[in-house]
Each structure stands twice: as structure tokens, then as C-alpha cells.
Structure 1
Amino acid sequence: MSQVKVDLCKQILEQFYGNIVASVGVFLLKNKASTLGRITQHTSLEQKQVKQALCSLIQQNIVVFSQSRPGVIEYTPLPDAVAMRLRYPHYIHCAKMLFGDAAELLIEEMLLQSQTDLNSTIVKVTKKLNESLVSSGSGITEVSQNIVRDKVMTLIKARLIRRCESIDRDKDDKAVDIIATTDPESLFDLPSILELESAVGSKRHLPQNSEVSAKRVKLETGLSVISQTAQTGQNEGSVYWCVNVHQFHHHFRDQAIIAVVARHIDQQAAEVIRIMLRLSETRTVPTSPESVQLSLTEIFNAQPKDKNMQKNTMDQYLKCLSENCSSFVTKIGESGGGLYQINFMRAMKAICVSQIETIVLERFGSKGLRMFRVLLAEKQVEHKQVDERAMLPPKEAKEILFKMFNENFVTMTELSKTPDHVPARTLYFFNVNLIQVSRMLLEKCYKAAANVMIRRQKCMSDNKRLLDKQDRVEAIISNLVAEGAVEQKEEIEQMVTPSERAQLQKVGEATKMLELSEIQLDNTIFILETFLSYMVQPIPLSKKKDILGDV
């Protein structure tokens, strides 16, 4: 793990959890698996503080624990879980777009708690929905807990939330390990009636032989996390639930593919690829670089009722997708009108290349982009051939080429004609290594995201007094409006001077720009990470060469 990513994780931990938790988290990120004693020794914190920090990190799915040997528990960090906190607004917005306001609040609450039982989540979300209805004055009747419960079922069926892994305990009832499930499908089993009955107001009692206790699993002396045993007042609280971020990532990937197809071909082609993605969503292995095989007949029958695309038109679009658009779709058979599958690796490669080309255009201009595309297409090219094929003056092309080489966008291979490697008798070939460029840009994105967070915090701290004053004035005004004393509103508003209002507007614009920058950086990070994740999979070498073109 690079130092740049550690710095980003440190900024995130400090912003969300405070300095003590950040100190423990950063130590674990730098040293990987460590025991409680080692963490206490090297962080210069009290053992009680370290235990509380570990509790928070385990609860937030940032740290996992395991027993290395009898009596010794090691704590291991999950760096990606820290960096994903930047993506939480995307998860919440995605849930709202797919399933509405109740789903948005459910995902928000579960992201906040990380591991939680459904009962308390349903109660909290129902309360928030009813409070928002009252404050809006819409006159809509109260939202019942049954509606929220049904939305929970919908989210589970869509695989956006899942069960947490169970905990292995020793004979002394201490947690020693997290049990990895052997059947991933069991994580998406629907909850039983007993798990939900207290949330929906059922008065049905538990059988006399069922024991509901508030046991907590001890990790170390004084360190505990809620186990998968029920808390008081919960009927079958042994099951804890969390957000399945991987399913959200699949949805973001699918949306990126649909957007690229719509941009390169048209909206009808995007609709065809959308149908294929929906059909393969639950049938494709999550880590597979290709979707399941889909026949033309199956795709045609699955189109929405409001779409009237003819079968021969859909066949033409599938042929177009398989021959153009970087071969996102591959035809692998003729049965059922033709068998097709989506190649996710090729799709993510095309999206990643498009993202890299945008960066090259901004850094080196249109001429640099032309040279970059020549190198991508030709693989190994001498510098004299680059200017010829990019149709640029030799001097200018050489300057841009070596500038890209200096910034690691281009790599060079030496091929000497003699054993002494004399420059006059050595050929120099330039090429683009997509994996290397992607990793380099990913590091830059991590650095930029950390800088944006630091800059935003500095902007807020420098204007803290003014922002606090604005909050107080707004609170007074809202109280006056609630009491009906509207005539005093104007007088209170004048407490903020015109110069202060101008400064507040300036701070608001700067903060908004930094937040938008953070969102855009996270989008770029997601594309680069997804592309690299497909590249590290142990797929056949022949397939990888075919997809990447020996990058």
C-alpha cells in the first residue's frame, strides 16, 4: 500500500472518527496485522483508548480480527473500506434513484451504523419519514413500518444489503475470528418473521424455550463488540446486516457502460445493453470478466412493454455492438437467434482509456493526445515514426513525446544492435503500458483527493466564527417564524452585515467547488480501480492478450 493512499485514509479517518481512531487506523495501515499490545506500544495511547478505537473500526468494517495462535488476536485493516467512505453519497443517491426516499434513508442509516439489526433500522427510518412529512406540511398520512419493511425486502432481493458474517468463539465465549461463509448466496436470505415482528408492532410472543439475552462477545479484556447474539428487546437479533457495496459498484459499472454505448452509437443501442445487463445481473459471478450467455430471443422477450423494438432491429444493434464500440458484446453462438455475452474487461478498458485520454488532452494538448493515440494503436513505435503518423513537426513531436515519457505516460524499450549498447546503434521504441499509467494516475487521484479534503477543512476552519454566527441567526429566525413573530425577522437578518454575507457566499462557492472536485475524483478513482481489479484476476493469458493487445 502506497504512502499516498495511507495519507488519504488518514484524512478520511480524522474527518469522520477523530484523531485517536485515525492514529490506530494509520498504524494498522502501515503495519498490517498487529496485536493489541503492539498497537498500544507504538501509538503512545492508553490501552483503553486503543480498545475503543478498535471497537469503532471493527463496527465500521474497517478492521477485521483473527486468532493467529491460541490467546493472541491480530487486527488487520481493510484500506479499501476506508477509501470507500468518499463514495457514500453515491450509494445513497443510487438507492434513492432506484427505490425512492425510504430506500435512501435505509441505506444512509446502515452506512452510518455499518453493522446493525433490521428492527432498530426500520424504527429509525420510519420516524425520520414521518418527521419529514410533518415538517413539509404535505398532509400525507403517516408512513407505517410495514412500508419500510417491504422496502427492506426489496433491497435484499436487489442484493444492496446483506447479512454480516458470523463470529467464531472459543470455549470462554471470546470472539477469536470472523467466519467466512462458504455459501455467498446465504448472505442474501430474506429475514424471518421473528426478526422483523418487533419492528412492525407485532404482539406475538417468543416461545418459552427461546432465550433472548444481551450477550456481547469479548475480544480482549475490556474490548467488546456486539455479537450476533440478540440484544434486549430484539426477538431474533442474532443477525446483523450491512450495505453490500460491491453490488453498488456493479451498478456504477453498468451505468458507465450504458453511457458509453449511448454516446458512441445511440440511445436504442444503450437500451439493448441495459436489457442484457439486467438479465445477467444476478446470474453472473461477481468477479467474472464476462457475463452469462444470452440469446437474441431472451433479450427480445425481456424488453420493457413500452419499448417496441422489432426483433430484426435488435439483431442489427447486437451485431453493431459486437463489431464496434470496442467489442463490448461478443457473439459466441447461433442458437436462439444468436448467443451474446458482455465482456466487462473490454468495456472497462475502453472506459479507462477514454478517461486517460481526457487527462492527456488537458496536460499535453490535442497534439499530445494524437501522439498518445498513435502509441496506443501501434504498440511499439520509434520516435521518428511517431511524428510521421501523428502528422506533427519532428521537433515539436519529440518535445511532447519526451515530456510524456518524463511524466510516465509513455514507456520506452531499448533494442541494441550490439552488445555494448552504444546509443548510435540502439533502437528506442515507445509504447503505452495501460496498467502502469492507470496505477500512476490512481496515485495522483489519491493525492488530489487528500489535498481537496485538507483545503476544504482549512476553508471551514478559517471562517468558523462567521459560519457559527450564520447558524445562530438562522436558528433564531426559524424559531421566530415558528412562533409567528415574522415582524422581527428582518431585524435579526440585519445582524449579518453585507460584507459578512459576501464572505459567506464566497466560502459557500469555494466549498461547493471542492465538494464537486471530490466527487469527480472519486468517479475517476472508481474507473481506474475497476479496470485494475479485472487485470489482476487470474484469467487465461491468451484472453488477456486478446483483450489488452499486449499493453
Structure 2
Amino acid sequence: SAAAAAEQALALRSLEEITYGKARFKLPQDVMMGDPGVGIKAEGVDADGGGALAAGGEPAQPPKKKQRTKAGTKSTAKESAAAVAGAPEPSAASVAAAAAVAAPSVLMWRVNTEEFNRRFRHRVCADMVADKIDADAGGVLTVMLAASRPYESTLREDRSSAVSADEATEVAARLSVRAATAGEGSGGSPVSSAASVPTILSTIAHDALELISYIGDGPGGAQYVVNMGRIVQLVQLKQVESVIRDRFGGPGLRVFRLLLLKGQLEQKQVADFSMLTPKDTRELLYRMLRAGFLSLQDIPRTADRAPSRTLYTWRANPAEAGAQLCGELYAGAGRVWSRIRHEMAREKELLDLIEESRVKGEMNFTLTPAQRTAAQRLKRSVDLLEASLLQLDEMIAIFNEY
């Protein structure tokens, strides 16, 4: 009947989705490392997304070997398998009807923005470790993140999955071979040939910055996890300190780091520790307070909160400073985008003329010297503004996406 055919089609489609989900998280290592455009097409699965059918028209059985699946899919797999096992043997007509119902008429594709952001986040973490320690340490972190990437369930993971020293060594060797095959030479390999991956992992794990953590021994030797949340915090702090240095100079950065180290200090203590005059310290503190990078805390000695009997302490909060900077970055990006639109609106007639000729496929006019100069000026201005917009977007992603 139609109801039985529809039920059978739903069961087949659920089974296909589960099989695809298992195959997604069981990709080969070389694909996990980041070859774009790799599709998955299981044997006997219709390319248009139809039901999974064996050679004789029977429903394909799921893999017997238990594979790693994401949380929340185990119960669905059991229910779908039970539905298929308990269903009666479908006839040829029911199988054809099921395939017709399950097959989509149009295949729709979209950009996986979450995967892009995840890989950008991993690159930022690796660059930070390379800057703090050395290039080989950044390469080892790249290897660890590549090996644990398929098991990340969310974008903002605080810690990666555990990776053993042997597994990291194997992945590093595979990436080096791929780089050599692609003709990139030693520059394409994340770790130099003379470096020892287990030694580098041990060195990073014993660093005071806590970039990676040792969690014990396993089948592949020592097990490590990457503290991605900690690394992103260091990247954000580095951006904040860079902006403070540009705006307030070396003394402003010294005061900010001093308050991060000491917690809360009075104005006189800030002047003494930072080796600044009381006047310069007062002006600098209030300028940074106005900009949102510092905060002022009043501690009353009496219940009436009289100013003469109240202590005022200064403190620096990296999270608040990062939020303040992120808001300024959004405002700056908006101004840059408005400037681009303004520059293009000024030369609207020239742009319309060029666009009309491009659509027609023929250049039936000659630009005057004034128009040629205007077009060159517009190109230089827009290129510079777009480059600035890309830099702002990268900084915004550090505070908002990662």
C-alpha cells in the first residue's frame, strides 16, 4: 500500500543518512588534513541522493564494524536499523516507489562557513604557538589540530581530542610526503625533518603558557590535548596590547600589563611600579579609562561613602578590553564600507558606462584623459579600502568568531 511504501522509503532514507554520517567521521587521514572538494559516494548509492541499494535491488546493509559517530546519533541508528530489520521484504514496485520518494529533484550546495572558521581558528592557534616558541612547535600544533579536527563538534572547542605522540609523528610524516609530492619541498612540511615530534610535544606541555596539556599515557604513547581556548585568549590579549601601544605608547602598555599582573592598584602604587610621575600617571589612567581599556573601583571605608574616606583602585580586565576593541572594529569596518560606497557613487556614470560595455561584450567608446584618471584613482582607492576591510574582518573574527 502507499502507507507501507512511504514508511519503507522513510526507513531507507534514515539508514542512508546514518551511513553517510558514519562515513563522514571515518574519512581517510589525507582527506582529514584538508583536501577541499572531496565528495563521498558509497558503492551502490545513487549519486542524486536516492536510497542505498545493493546490486540486486535489495537495501544495502550498514557496516558491521562499529565506527565513531557524533553524540545523539546512536539512538537514531538503532531505531532505523530496527525499522529496516522488522519491515517485510519489499517488492520491486515498493523499492522503486521508495527511491522516487527519497530522491531529491535538485541538488543544492552551500559553503560550509563553520568549517572555514574552524580551519582559520586552527591556523591562528598555530601561528600564535610559532610566534611564542618556534616554527617547529607551530608545525606540531598544526599536526595535532589536523588529526583531531574530525572529532570537533562545535567551533569554539576549548580543548581538542587527545592525540598520541605516535599518531602526531605519523601524521607529520604523511603531511611531509604530501608536500614533497605536490612539489612544495621542505617549505610545505609543517615540521622540519630534523625535529622530533615527541620532544617538541613534551617541551610545549612543560611551558608556563599551558598551550597543550599532557593527560597520560595511552596505546600510542603520551597523550596530549591542545588548549585552544587558552591560545585564543592569548591571541586576543596580543591584539589588545597592540592597540594600546599604538594609542598610548610604551607607558600605556606598561601600565596595562602591570594591572594585569597585580590585579587592583591605587593611583600612587601605579605611579611607583610603572616609574612614571604622578601627573603623567593620572592623565594616562583617565585617558585609558575613557577609552574603555581600564576600570575604576571605589572601596568605601564608611557606610556614607564619603569621597575622602574612599579608596579608588584601578584594574584591567582583558575580556572587557576585548569587547571594547571589538565594538570599535565593527564601527571602523562600517566606516570603511561606507567610504567604498561613497567612492563608487562619485564615479557612478563612469562605472555604468564600463558595465554596459562589459555586458554587451564590446568597447564602443574611448575614455577621455579625465575619465581614465578618475578610473585609476577609483581603483587605487577601492583596493586600499578593501585591503583595510580584510584586515579589520580578520581581527573581528578573532574576537567574535573564534
Same fold (TM over 0.5): yes
Match of 1:508? Answer: 379
Deviation at 1:463, TM superposition (A): 0.6
Which structure's relative contact order is higher, taking Cα pairs within 8 Å and 6+ residues apart?
2
* Aligned partners of 2:298 and 2:312 also within 8 Å: yes
The higher radius of gyration belongs to: 2
Q: 2:137 aligns with which of 240, 246, 269?
A: 269
Q: Structure 1 pair 338/446, CA: closer, same or farther in 2 (3 Å)?
A: same
> Within 5 A, what are the aligned runs for 1:469-480?
469-471=353-355, 479=362
Partner of 1:253: 121
Q: Say yes or no: does 1:153 pair with 2:40.
A: yes
Q: For 2:389 and 2:73, locate their aligned partners in 1 and report how far apart those are by CA, in whole Å.
A: 33
1:468 to 352, 355, 368: 352
Matched residue, 1:283: 151
The residue type paired with residue 373 of structure 1 is R
- 211 and 407 in structure 1: CA distance in 2 versus 1, 3 angstrom threshold: same
Hey, what does 2:63 align to over in structure 1? none
* Mapped partners of 1:446, 1:430: distance in 2: 27
Q: 5+ residue gaps in structure 1?
A: 1-96, 104-150, 157-162, 164-180, 187-205, 213-228, 481-491, 532-551
**Residues 184 and 523 of structure 1, relative CA distance in 2, 3 Å threshold:** farther
Alignment check: 8 A CA contact 2:157 2:229 kept: no
Q: Which residue pairs with 1:304 in the alignment?
A: 173
- Percent identity between matched residues is 27
CA 1:302–1:210: 2 relative to 1, 3 Å: closer
Matches within 5 A, 1:326-341: 326-335=209-218, 336-341=220-225
Query: Which of the residues 225, 233, 257 maps onto 1:373?
Result: 257
The count of residues paired between Structure 1 and Structure 2 equals: 310
Deviation for aligned residue 1:300: 2.0
Alpha carbons of structure 1 residues 184 and 457: separation in structure 2 relative to 1, 3 Å: farther
Q: By how many angstroms is 1:525 displaced?
A: 1.3
**Contact persistence 2:136–2:192 (CA under 8 A):** no
8 Å Cα contact 1:382/1:430 also seen in 2: yes
CA deviations on 1:443-462 (whole Å, 9 max, x unpaired) are: 22222222222221111111
SS in 1 for 2:110: strand
CA 1:384–1:288: 2 relative to 1, 3 Å: same
Structure 2 CA distance for partners of 1:246 and 1:276, relative to 1, 3 Å = same
C-alpha contact 1:348 1:527 (8 A) present in aligned 2: yes
TM-score normalised according to structure 2 size: 0.68
Please, what TM-score do these two structures have when normalized by structure 1? 0.50
Equivalent position amino acid for 1:319 in 2: S
Amino acid at match of 2:371: E
C-alpha separation in 2, matches of 1:211 and 1:470: 50
How far does the alpha carbon of each residue in 1:336-361 deviate from its partner, in whole angstroms, 9 at most, with x for none?
54321111110110011011112212
Tell me whether 1:209 sits opposite 2:78 in the alignment: no
**1:415 alignment partner in structure 2:** 299
Distance in 2 (alpha carbons) for counterparts of 1:310 and 1:299: 15
Aligned to 1:324: 207
In the TM superposition, what is the alpha-carbon distance from 1:424 to its structure 2 partner?
A: 3.0
CA change 1:308–1:519 in 2 (3 A) is closer
Question: How far did 1:276 drift?
Answer: 0.6
Which structure 2 residue ranges, 5 or more long, are not aligned?
1-32, 43-48, 50-69, 76-93, 177-190
| Cα offset, 1:528, TM superposition | 0.6
One-letter amino acid of the counterpart of residue 239, structure 2: Q
- 1:99 positional shift: 4.4
Superposition deviation, residue 297 in structure 1:
2.4
2:385 corresponds to 1:517: no
